[in-house]
Structure 1
Amino acid sequence: MSPALEGPALFIGTDTAYVALVRPALDPADPDVRLAAEEAGVPPEEFAGPGDIWAVLFENDGEGDGFELPGVRDAEPAGFAERLRAELTTASGPFTVDGGAVLRLDARPAGADAYAFTARITPPDDPEAELTVETGPLPVAALLADLDAFLGSLA
């Protein structure tokens, strides 16, 4: 399960423990978007639509945060999702998917047709402050469906 968000989003985890790669869309009803549009002298609808900044969001037992990933292009999150999908369809044991300098996902079998994950997150502005998020068991079928939907949203 994941929080509601417009734009491409890949959530791995539960409502209380997750890591997510997101590229939020701009909502013309958002007060910050309305203010920026007013300052620019254009209607808020001109600012609406897909954003171009990727972010990592995370939550662990009600404590969460996130950070932007300036300069990341769609191909990088897509590559991460494709590698995760490939591992989920072929692995029979633990595996790791490297998402670059800010994200690494360690997976381990957690019952029949499920995996639990340890997400290792390194904020770009503080490389010494690695954070970890532990998810409970997640069904492989649901993860594959989420990965397909995410990859489809980038196509």
Structure 2
Amino acid sequence: MSPIAMGGPALFIGTDTVYVALVRPELDPADPGVQLAAEQAGVSPEEFAGPGNVWALMLDEDGEGDGFELPGARDVEADDFAEQLQRALAEGEPFTAEAGNFLRLEASPYAAVNWRLTARVTPPEGHDAGPWTLELGTLPTADLLADLEDFRRSLA
């Protein structure tokens, strides 16, 4: 389900055309693109790549995307959100799961093996766009659970 590769832990929920993604990008200082960007910015590739510990939320709906950093977000909070989703999916009842005050997922079962998901995204103060409501579509339970497990494993 992942429309783009981030190089770090990433949880994509949705389709190729509409999604939300909780990501912690990691840039490789040895990557030629990173080296070129660092040179253009006048810094070392290591400085340009940074520590790789800043979480972000990305979203896209039919090519109209946005994203923002999540200051102070930590791996443990991302893992807690993923665990919350896993438990709720296993219960099979409609639910709402929240990741901080920036992402709320509303889900209801559909046709026994799928979930209809809606994401409500609220950017942090100072971000000039949003809030957004994204209809993420109907997604298979098995795929959601596998993605959540992969995401949690990438955090370990």
* TM-score of Structure 1 vs Structure 2, range by shorter chain: 0.7 to 0.9
1:47–1:61: structure 2 CA closer, same or farther, 3 Å change rule? closer
Residue 115 of structure 1 aligns with which residue?
115
Tell me the distance in 1 between the aligned counterparts of 2:47 and 2:122.
34
Unaligned runs of 5+ in 2: none
Residue 143 of structure 2 aligns with which residue?
142
Residue 81 of structure 1 aligns with which residue?
82
Q: How far is the alpha carbon of 1:39 from its aligned partner?
A: 2.6
Q: Is the 8 A contact 1:19 1:57 kept in 2?
A: yes
Tell me the distance in 2 between the aligned counterparts of 1:33 and 1:60.
30
TM-score by length of 1: 0.87
| 3-state SS of paired residue (1:144) | helix
Q: How does 1:61-80 map to 2 (within 5 A)?
A: 61-80=62-81
Unaligned runs of 5+ in 1: none
Q: How far is the alpha carbon of 1:130 from its aligned partner?
A: 1.9
Which amino acid letter does the alignment assign opposite residue 113 of structure 1?
V
Tell me the distance in 1 between the aligned counterparts of 2:72 and 2:52.
12
TM-score by length of 2: 0.86
Tell me the distance in 1 between the aligned counterparts of 2:113 and 2:21.
22
Which amino acid letter does the alignment assign opposite residue 83 of structure 2?
E
Tell me the distance in 2 between the aligned counterparts of 1:129 and 1:140.
28
Q: Identify which of 15, 19, 39 aligns with 2:43.
A: 39
Q: How far is the alpha carbon of 1:131 from its aligned partner?
A: 0.6
Tell me the distance in 1 between the aligned counterparts of 2:50 and 2:153.
17
* Alignment deviations for residues 97-117 of structure 1 (CA, whole Å, 9 cap, x no partner): 011110100001222311011
Q: Is the 8 A contact 1:7 1:25 kept in 2?
A: yes
CA RMSD of aligned residues (A): 2.2
1:137–1:50: structure 2 CA closer, same or farther, 3 Å change rule? farther
1:47–1:144: structure 2 CA closer, same or farther, 3 Å change rule? same
| 3-state SS of paired residue (2:137) | coil
Q: How far is the alpha carbon of 1:51 from its aligned partner?
A: 0.6
Which amino acid letter does the alignment assign opposite residue 52 of structure 1?
N
Tell me the distance in 2 between the aligned counterparts of 1:90 and 1:126.
37
| 3-state SS of paired residue (2:100) | coil
